[in-house]
Every structure is written in C-alpha cells, then in structure tokens.
A and B are shown apart, each in its own frame.
Chain A
Amino acid sequence: MTDYEARIGDERVDPAAAWRIEWIDWAHGVARAFDGERSRLVVVEGSGTEWTVTIGGRRVPVTVRSWRERVLAEAEVGAGAQAGPVEIRATLPGLVVGISVAAGDEVDAGASLLTIEAMKMQNEVRAPRPGRVIDVAVSAGQTVATGAALLRLE
C-alpha cells in the first residue's frame, strides 16, 4: 500500500484508528464512518492530494500526499517561493462595487483593497500581507468570476 500521509493546515494528523467507512453515495462522496460504538455521516470531496471532509457541518481541508509527493512539495518550499508578487484573486463571483487602492499605493496587511458585491452582501477584499500595489486588473461595475485576478501586490 502506498505510504500516504494526511495533513490539516501545516500539521501532520494521524488518522483515527479503528474506524471503518461505508459509502452511501459515491458520486457525491457521502459516507458513514463507524468505530464500533458511534456512527457519523461525512462528505468527502476532492481528488489527487486535495480533499475536503465535511464533518459535523464543518468543512475540513485535508492534504493527502504520498512519500514522493511529500518530497517534491518540500523541495518546492525549500526553493523559496516566499517573496515575489502576490496575485489577489476573487474567492467568489460578484460585482466589483468599489476599489480603494490604485497602482503604486503602499498597503498594510489587512487593508481593504476592493469591495465585491455577491449574494446581496458587500465583501471587502483585504491585503494578505503588506506591500505595494503593482496594478489593478478590474474596474468598478465589472462582474468577476471565482478565481478572477483582481490585483497584484509586491
């Protein structure tokens, strides 16, 4: 059996021992997990190394890697992709209703960059770290899809 390892966040997690799984709906990833005393409904979604397990109503992202994938991933982090520009992308589709920054602005971590209206709510997009705005790829009044590039920070 391949030597897989599960990680949640940055932490390696030992899988629960003595549990078994019974699939209820393959296509949607619905399963029942048993440990002989308790039974819990879960949803598991994903493919490859990236999975999301819904448990007690909470979505838990789990990375599952083989030994080989682990070595490759660690090599990538070691090579240092840390500095460099960050591309800010839309996490949900919506309408850009306001842009608070322009190219050249220095921003602090957590500063409001722009506002996207989605699901009738105004959602602020904030800077993940301090930096200078390289360029803004969208304008107010524009509709953006999930994953659309919004702006770049350096």
Chain B
Amino acid sequence: MASLRTDSPVPPFERLLVANRGEIAVRVIRACRELGVSPITVHSDADVDALHVALGDRSERIGPPSAGESYLSIPAVIEAAERCGAQAIHPGYGFLSENAEFARAVEAAGLVFVGPPPSVLEALGNKLAARRSAAEAGVPIVPGTTVALAEDVSAVEEIGFPVMLKAVAGGGGRGMRRVDAADELAGAMASARREAEAAFGDGTIYVERMVAPARHVEVQLLGDRHGGLAVLGERDCSVQRRHQKLVEESPSPAVDEATRAALFESARRVAATVDFHNVATVEFLLDGEGNHYFLEMNTRLQVEHGVTELVTGLDLVAWQIRVAAGEPLPPDVLEATTRGHAIEVRLYAEDPWDGFRPSAGRIGAWCMPEGPGTRVDAGMTADTDLRPEYDPLLAKLLVHAADRPSAIDRLRRALDETLVGGVVTDAGFLRWLVDDPAFVGGAYDTSLIAERWAGGPPLSDDDRALAAFVALEARRLGVTTGASTPDGTPAPPGSAWGERARRDALRG
C-alpha cells in the first residue's frame, strides 16, 4: 500500500482554498488536514452555518445563496483565494470543477488549479469533440453522430430508434433524453436543449444509438505532471435514475479479466489524446456481449471516488493535491492493485416512491453507520435546513469487505444503522436494493430502477402495524417530536419539546 508521506516531508501547499460545499468540501478539508495544508472554505449567505464552514480554518463569503452568484462565480472565488493567501484551489466536483475558463483564471492569478490543465478541460468538456478524438484514437464509441444535431433530423432516423439525445456540454444526466420513436423527437429535442441551456449555457445536442441492456462502467485515472499515469481499477455505476448514479461498486461484477484489460487500454488511449495530469474518469457503456463503448471523460474528482480509495488504499484527494504541487507518483501508486470489494450508496433527499422527486425541509434526526469497513462522507448533520439552491446529496455511505457478498451484508447492516428524520430520503430504496435478487446476483443493468423498483413495493403488513404502534405510542406520550411539523415547515428547535416529554414521562 502506498504511503502518503514517504517522499513528502513538507506540506505541498501552506493554504488551499476549497471552492465547493457539502460533503465534497468536507472530504477535501480532511485531505488537507492529513497533508498539513491549511484548508480555507468559501460560503454563500445560505451556508454560513454549514458543516464545511465549521471544519475549515477560516471561511470567505463569496455571495448570495444563488449558486450562479456564489459557487459558480469565477471572480468571487478567485478574490476569496487572493484575500486568504491560498496558493491552490480545489474545485471539488460540479460547480466550476470542469470549467476551463475558471482553471485559466486560477493560473492567471498565479495560483495552482487542483485538477487537469485547462487545455484538457476544454478538449474533453465538449463531449462531441471528445467522441471524435476517442474514435480517432481507436477507442470504440457508441454509434451516432459526431456533429451537432441540427433542425434537420434525418441523421437520427438513419441511426435508428431508440436513440439517446445528449448535451455537448453535458454532465450529471442533464440535457439527456431517451427517444423511442420519430414523433417524440421534436418534443424531446426541445426539452433537452432547454435543460442543457439552463444547466450549461449551451443547448447544443448530439445523438447516440441507445445501447440496451447496458451497464455503466468507468475507469479511474490518476496522473502526475511527469508522464506517470496510474489506472486505478473500474467502478460499476449501473444503478441509476434520471441517468444519474445512485450506487457504485468496484470491481464491476460484469467485468472479466479480458474486458478489464480492454477497458484499461481504451482509458489510456483516451487520456493520451490530451496532455493529461491529476484525476479523471473515463466512462464507458458495456453491452451484454462484453463490448465497451466510450461515453465521456470527466476531468475532475468523481462523487464516487471513495469506492476506488477503499479498494486501492489510496487517498485520491491527497494525491490530487500532491501532483498539483508537482510531485511525481511513486512506483507503488503507479502499480497499485485492488483488494476486496467496495460499494457506495448515495443518500439523497428525494422520494423513491414518488419518482425520486427531490424533497426539501429540515433534517431532524441524523444517525450514520459506523463500524468495521464502513465509511460515511457527509456534508450535513442533524437540524440542518436543506437549501433548494443546491444538490440534494446528503451523504455517501461506503463499505469495504473481502468480496462482493460480504460487502452487501455489510451494506445491509450499515443501512439498518442509518436514520434520517425530517426529510424524505432514498434510504428505503437503498435498503430494498440490498435484498433485490438482481442486484445481489450482480446481473443487473441500467434499467434496474425503471424495471425492478418501478414505483416501489407496497408497505409490508408488519411495517404498517409497527408504524401504527409507534405513532400511537408517540401520541399517547402527548409530545411533539422531530424537527419538522407535518406540513413540512420548520419547527423551532425541538429540545424544549424533548425536555417536556422527558418530564412528562418521569411524572407519568
């Protein structure tokens, strides 16, 4: 296992600006602490009391709650870095992490951007250009257009339905639409363009043939500024809703050694089309015959990086910071192998029984799992208001065990220890998933949620009877519990009620 400190007796930077919020800001702060770097955070007016702000050494205000005027504002973030005297900026994921203009502005200010160089963000940020370069490098791509989709849609009919519309500036599933027939095309194009325009400021769309059934498998890369490139295994991210990942695991249960070698070779080829360093992920679709097709290369840390950290034993965020400072990757990182099996599930504030619709409100109870092989990356805690301006990701629960069956057992145990009050979460779906025969057997694909979960199972009779019992007990005690009133409006802090309940119970 690669030691983090062997050739780094001094911290790579004195101060680093963490230009993000939520769980990923907390994750970067932790890496900074271990490296001896002072983490400085940023916050919008909505995040004054956020967990990441409390954990950094100091925090800079960067604007009002709206992300566009705060976390997405290039001048606000650069000014914050200059004010606090940071030498480097870590963008996390989302927000400005893949914005080439931002990376250039960071360098122009004489600071280090912790991520791939701006030229790489530019080349790979355009998904269509990336598709062309991958094809030229001999990497298989999903059949479809390699030019933007115009109003003339004859190209789509040639590919054959069903097709997938995608945003050239895409990411996070936004601007993506499945189209099954010609008469749905115009409507889907209009809504995909609108969503892409709103999310990325660029409504350009291209089209790919639909690969189904398919699995989503991605390869983690870590490179230094001296030509060293580590291929750190694959992650399977096939459990998705709205083309966004909910569960990730490594290794993929669908990948054999031959397929793995082919995936790694393709990933290396894609990386070689640009002057790559730092971290990136090359995403592929895998069809039922073991063929893989390049989708895109994400030039940033992924939400699911922790899965790779568990199986490799490497701290990817720390290595990002160290290679950004110019350190070469040592041989034991370049040749890192994987051990055991890791699974991550994402705890989101959304309702799986209502089409995974985002929910809002105030988190009440907050109990996260602990114990062997269990890791929680959270950006929240009890009694926190969820902001509608930002992503509804609450926490990531990760487990690591010797093999896939024991990792699933561990995950089931961890989910049974997890309890969130006040807001609807997807925890009920995740708990269902660990007992779903398709997931447990490993032979699932990206249609799992649509086909197997569908609208979700009905409440079991046992759970109904238990829920009735618990509610009756609570009413009989005559207390008000929890952080939210039934209509979802935040109640005043509940401790006063709790105290009353305790007194009543003692008196009773």
Could you say which residues of chain B place their CB within 8 Å of the CB of A92?
Answer: 358-360, 388
CB-defined interface of A18-53 with B at 8 Å, one 1/0 digit per residue? 010101011111110100000011111111111111
Q: A33-B466, A58-B463, A62-B471 are in contact. Are A45 and B359 (CB under 8 A)?
A: no
Instruction: Give Cα A23 to B470, complex, Å.
Output: 11
Q: How far is the CB of B145 from chain A (nearest CB, A)?
A: 25
Q: Which of B361, B364, B424, B431 has the most CB of A within 10 A?
A: B364
Asked whether B507 is an interface residue with its Cβ less than 8 Å from the other chain, the reply is no
- In contact, B357 and A45 (Cβ under 8 angstroms): no
Closest to A56 in B: B431
- In contact, B475 and A21 (Cβ under 8 angstroms): no
- In contact, A47 and B488 (Cβ under 8 angstroms): no
- In contact, A118 and B481 (Cβ under 8 angstroms): no
Closest to B353 in A: A58
- In contact, B468 and A8 (Cβ under 8 angstroms): yes
Could you say which residues of chain B place their CB within 8 Å of the CB of A15?
Answer: 465, 468-469, 472
Q: A59-B424, A60-B459 are in contact. Are A14 and B482 (CB under 8 A)?
A: no
Selecting from A100-108, A120-128, A130-138, the interface stretch reads: A120-128
Asked whether B402 is an interface residue with its Cβ less than 8 Å from the other chain, the reply is no
- In contact, A45 and B422 (Cβ under 8 angstroms): yes
CB-defined interface of B404-437 with A at 8 Å, one 1/0 digit per residue? 0000000000011111111011111111000000
- In contact, A4 and B476 (Cβ under 8 angstroms): yes
Q: How far is the CB of A30 from chain B (nearest CB, A)?
A: 5
- In contact, A57 and B418 (Cβ under 8 angstroms): yes
- In contact, A122 and B195 (Cβ under 8 angstroms): yes
Instruction: Give Cα A53 to B475, complex, Å.
Output: 12
Instruction: Give Cα A123 to B420, complex, Å.
Output: 23
Q: Which of B198, B472, B485 contacts A6 (CB 8 A)?
A: B472
Could you say which residues of chain B place their CB within 8 Å of the CB of A97?
Answer: 198
- In contact, A25 and B365 (Cβ under 8 angstroms): yes
Could you say which residues of chain A place their CB within 8 Å of the CB of B466?
Answer: 16, 19, 33, 40, 42, 53, 55
Asked whether A150 is an interface residue with its Cβ less than 8 Å from the other chain, the reply is no
Q: Which of A6, A21, A43 has the most CB of B within 10 A?
A: A43
| Interface size classification for chain A | 35 or more
Closest to B393 in A: A119
Could you say which residues of chain A place their CB within 8 Å of the CB of B419?
Answer: 30, 41-43, 54
Q: A41-B419, A47-B480, A147-B487 are in contact. Are A14 and B474 (CB under 8 A)?
A: no
Query: Which residues of chain B from 469 to 508 have any CB-CB distance to chain A below 8 Å in the complex?
Result: 469-476, 479-489, 493-495, 497-499, 501-502, 505
- In contact, B459 and A46 (Cβ under 8 angstroms): no
Asked whether B392 is an interface residue with its Cβ less than 8 Å from the other chain, the reply is yes
Could you say which residues of chain B place their CB within 8 Å of the CB of A117?
Answer: 198
Asked whether A146 is an interface residue with its Cβ less than 8 Å from the other chain, the reply is yes
Interface of B is mostly: mixed
Closest to A59 in B: B424
Could you say which residues of chain B place their CB within 8 Å of the CB of A16?
Answer: 462, 465-466, 468-469
Asked whether B57 is an interface residue with its Cβ less than 8 Å from the other chain, the reply is no
Q: How far is the CB of A51 from chain B (nearest CB, A)?
A: 4
Instruction: Give Cα A25 to B364, complex, Å.
Output: 11
Instruction: Give Cα A57 to B417, complex, Å.
Output: 10
Query: Which residues of chain B from 334 to 391 have any CB-CB distance to chain A below 8 Å in the complex?
Result: 349-350, 353, 357-361, 364-367, 382, 388, 390-391
Instruction: Give Cα A29 to B488, complex, Å.
Output: 16
Closest to A42 in B: B470
Q: How far is the CB of A28 from chain B (nearest CB, A)?
A: 4
Q: Which of B353, B382, B391, B474 has the most CB of A within 10 A?
A: B474
- In contact, A93 and B360 (Cβ under 8 angstroms): yes
A positions within 8 Å CB-CB of B: 1-2, 4, 6, 8, 13-16, 19, 21, 23, 25-31, 33, 40-62, 64, 91-94, 97, 117-123, 146-147
B positions within 8 Å CB-CB of A: 174, 195, 198-199, 349-350, 353, 357-361, 364-367, 382, 388, 390-392, 415-422, 424-431, 459, 462-476, 479-489, 493-495, 497-499, 501-502, 505
List, sorted by A's number, 10 A–B pairs whose CB atoms are closer than 8 Å: A13-B465, A21-B470, A30-B365, A33-B466, A45-B483, A50-B486, A51-B486, A54-B420, A64-B472, A97-B198
Q: A31-B473, A57-B425, A64-B474 are in contact. List 12 more A-B contacts (CB 8 A).
A: A16-B469, A23-B505, A25-B498, A29-B365, A29-B421, A52-B482, A53-B471, A56-B427, A56-B431, A58-B463, A59-B424, A122-B198
